[in-house]
Amino acid sequence: MNHNRSSVSNPDVWTKLSVLLTVLVAMSGSVKCQDPASGNVVWSEEFDGDSIDRSIWTHDVGGHGFGNGQLEYNTRRPENSYVRNGSLVIEARRESYGGNAFTSARMHTQGGFAFQYGDLEARIKLPDTADGIWPAFWMLGNNFPGTVWPKCGEADILEIGGKDGIEKGLQHRKINCALHFAGVDEQKTSLVQWFDAPADLHLDYHLYRISWTPKHMKFLLDGKEFGSWDITSPEMKEYHQPYFPILNVAVGSWTTSYTGLDTPEKISATLPARMHVDWIRLYGNKDTKVILGNKSSE
């Protein structure tokens, strides 16, 4: 896999930067980007090793539907998540496991990496989603689960496989970004924007990014903005705290939820279905804060 480190091309410089970042976090609990104009990489996961880095990644394990009626049992088994050829692979499979008809994986960095403000980008090749596969690259507030959802806040950078895409024959192109939070009077509020990509996204790698400042959250596909929200109002307070990223491939959901496909017989997607993640990188701005481990200045 081609890893284009355009921001830090010298491996020695990259190593020194990583060591310096770790030392600063250990000393102060957090790091602020000192070069706001550069947009330098201040944290990255390149998946260059032979296995998943357990100091960064944690698996959510279970088959309870995760609030959406999902049909898969998420495991930490190597059959469902592994590193191969420089990419993380999350693999959904049709197999009976734990009382569910499918297996997959759901991975997050809480306790290993979180951040507040900056541009988080991943290079991802999506699986064939037609019909019933629901991949996502998203974030939750780092105060979860102590602060319950949606009060913790959620930001979805990429989702695909929704029932609207199924109905319109755009399963491989219709993506969305979304914010879910406790809005006015702490009532659940969801903001969603949809975009029809110009090409089928499961055929190659593409770049999915959130650009986050104290004023806005913007969402981009291959550098093209397809969603944006102003987050300066008091009702958007959830978006002024650290978040951690999540990667998962869900299968199905309640009829009222994302895919609208609620039984194993309705899942017609070709399985196994694999999402490949080449890398994830955080580019800093003047307000960026990085948290490694459980250390925080807050």
Question: Which stretches of 122-217 are DSSP H helices?
Answer: 163-167
Contact in structure between 216 and 230 (CB atoms under 8 Å) = yes
Q: Which residues pair with 100 in a beta bridge?
A: 97
pTM across the whole model:
0.88
- Annotated active-site residue in 154, 186, 225, 298: 154
Give how far Cα 82 sits from Cα of 61, 66, 139, Å: 15, 22, 21
For the stretch 21-26, contacts whose Cβ atoms lie closer than 8 Å and that sit 24 or more positions apart, written own/partner, are: 21/290, 21/292, 22/292, 25/290, 25/291, 25/292, 25/293, 25/295, 26/295
Query: Cα(208)–Cα(126) distance, rounded to whole angstroms?
Result: 11
Task: Give the chain's domains with CATH numbers.
Answer: 11-292 (2.60.120.200)
Query: Cα(49)–Cα(252) distance, rounded to whole angstroms?
Result: 32
Closest to 154 measured CA to CA, from 248, 222, 33: 248
**235 part of the active site:** no
Contact in structure between 245 and 138 (CB atoms under 8 Å) = yes
Number of residues that make up the chain = 298
Contact in structure between 244 and 108 (CB atoms under 8 Å) = yes
pLDDT for position 246:
98
Average pLDDT over residues 175-189: 94
The larger pLDDT score, comparing residue 114 to residue 38, is at: 114
**Residue range 37-83, pLDDT digits in tens:** 458 999 999 999 999 999 999 999 999 999 999 999 999 999 999 99
Supply the DSSP string of 41-59, one letter for each residue: EEEEE---SSS--TTT-EE
pLDDT for position 39:
82
C-alpha torsion sign, points 268, 209, 2, 51? negative
Average pLDDT of every residue of the chain: 89
Query: Cα(176)–Cα(127) distance, rounded to whole angstroms?
Result: 16
**Residue range 142-174, pLDDT digits in tens:** 999 999 999 999 999 999 999 999 999 999 999
Residue with tokens 């990085």: 290
Average pLDDT over residues 198-221: 98
**Residue range 254-289, pLDDT digits in tens:** 999 999 999 999 999 999 999 999 999 999 999 999
**186 part of the active site:** no
pLDDT for position 184:
87
Q: Which residues contact 237 (CB under 8 A, 6 or more apart)?
A: none
- Annotated active-site residue in 159, 167, 225, 298: 159
